[in-house]
Amino acid sequence: MTAIIALLADETQQEKLVNFITQHENVLSHYRLMGLDNLAGALKQRTWLRIETMLSLRQGGDMVIASKIIAGEEIAAVIYLVEPTQTTFSELPLLTLLRVCNIYNIPIASNIGTAEAIIVQLRRTRSAYLIFNPVSGVGNANQDLLLIRQLLEPYFHLKVHLTTPETDPTELAKEAVEQNVDLVIASGGDGTVSAVAGAVINTNIPLGIIPRGTANAFSVALGIPTNIQGACEVIIAGLIRTIDVANCNGLPMILLAGIGFEAETVSKADRETKKRWGPLAYIMAGWQQLNEQTDFETEIEINGEINQCEAAAITVANVAPATSVLAQGLGQVIPDDGLLEVLMYTSPVDKMQALAGMVRLLGAGLLKTEIQRDNMIAFRTQRLKISTNPPQKVVLDGEIIGTTPIEVECVPKGLKIMTPAISAVPNVEEVATLNVNEVEVNEIENSLVEILPLEKPGL
């Protein structure tokens, strides 16, 4: 059962208590909060926290808390802000409650200073299970881990576990779930994050992310900083957002599945190339793949209805940043609408047409607008099956998992993620408010085509 924090205040200290609760709502949200009626009313317009109400002080509200302590209920702390001008200790209304807290060793604060000390201690009692992939990215893994520990250990009881060729991040994440930790943190590339996320789906355990991969597409899509300090600050702040996930051939999918062009591009960008060139490795591989990509026969089944067509690339997205251009046919990959975004793209006539199409998709993703092109089909669905002839490679969250066919199904609201206060991706309610300027899309396309070195195919 969740531990209780009792929140009380004299009438003159009410506003101080409201400000304190609002400031520390992310820490307090992990506890069962009890307070007076007037406190709940004052907080209603200031915070999303739920406060259980109890009797007023005149009716013995402090005695209710004292009785719970004596009865053995789990009380994490009592915060009771009193009027500082009280001169006689025996007149303090919290005297009995103070005595009970002393007997049963319950932390109690009577002013903002001691209340802040309780918050610091509550943070440190939260358990965080860090799954760290030492081979991700191009930086110094030892220095990265040292910095992460320096930033997080003052706020969490941090348990660090490193992945190895023999130690899969999925198994480590399952161990964390079995231990019922308060938070699981994944530090690595999109593959590591996807593996860890798969183990915490529908567990109610939030996932923190410290991106250290090549593309870090999932973090970028959700507005999570791609530097270690910024990502750790998001985790410390503790704001949680619930998003969709998906299953692809029984495997967890947090980003997207790609068939054809995208899968071949990822396959060509090996680890050594990515370490040397970073994200540029994907551009180089994609440019090469444009020379080789051909259409393939495709069969798509949705709700029992089967459709056939030809395609050179198919993307099924759950979450994707604007830079994942082959997911941007609808201009908006919404992470919490319970649907998958699907884009089918046929082979262009030449590289110039291919580049123009991709730039157009990038502009659509940046400006959140749907585009219409003769060689693109875009739609949303909750579930679908895709078969191809001949079989095509499939990339899932940045990792090649085999070949078609695939079956993908959305898991609505399946994952809790720690994100910044303002996410880079609007939720389903925000989409309707977006205003798009078609002229701006054209300007972006023209500008990017001018600066890209089309005359150098070997880039």
Report how far residue 268's alpha carbon sits from residue 270's, in angstroms, rounded to the nearest whole number: 6
Q: CA dist 397 to 134, 193, 260, 426, Å?
A: 19, 9, 15, 21
Question: In this structure, how many other beta carbons lie within 10 angstroms of the beta carbon of residue 130?
Answer: 24
62, 190, 336, 397: the active-site residue: 62
Whether 328 contacts 372, CB under 8 Å:
no
Taking each helix axis from N to C end, the angle separating 141-152 and 228-237, rounded to the nearest 10 degrees, works out to 30
Question: In this structure, how many other beta carbons lie within 10 angstroms of the beta carbon of residue 14?
Answer: 16
Phi/psi for 115 (5° steps) reads -65, -40
Which residues have CB under 8 Å from 245's CB, separation 6+?
A: 197, 198, 201, 252, 253, 254, 318, 410, 411, 414, 415
**Token pair of 224 as six digits:** 């999570």
Whether 146 contacts 202, CB under 8 Å:
no
Whether 168 sits among the annotated catalytic residues: the reply is no
**Token pair of 304 as six digits:** 């029992």
Q: CA dist 3 to 9, 28, 65, 147, Å?
A: 20, 11, 13, 31
Is the bond into 405 cis (omega within 30 degrees of 0)?
Answer: yes
Q: Which residue has the tokens 């370490």?
A: 275
Report how far residue 244's alpha carbon sits from residue 415's, in angstroms, rounded to the nearest whole number: 6
Beta bridge partners of 306: 301
Question: In this structure, how many other beta carbons lie within 10 angstroms of the beta carbon of residue 3?
Answer: 14
- AA letter at 421: A
- AA letter at 178: E
Whether 129 contacts 181, CB under 8 Å:
yes
Q: CA dist 421 to 98, 174, 417, Å?
A: 37, 28, 12
Rg (CA), the chain: 26
Antiparallel, parallel or unpaired: β 383-389 and 251-253? unpaired
| Catalytic center residues | 62
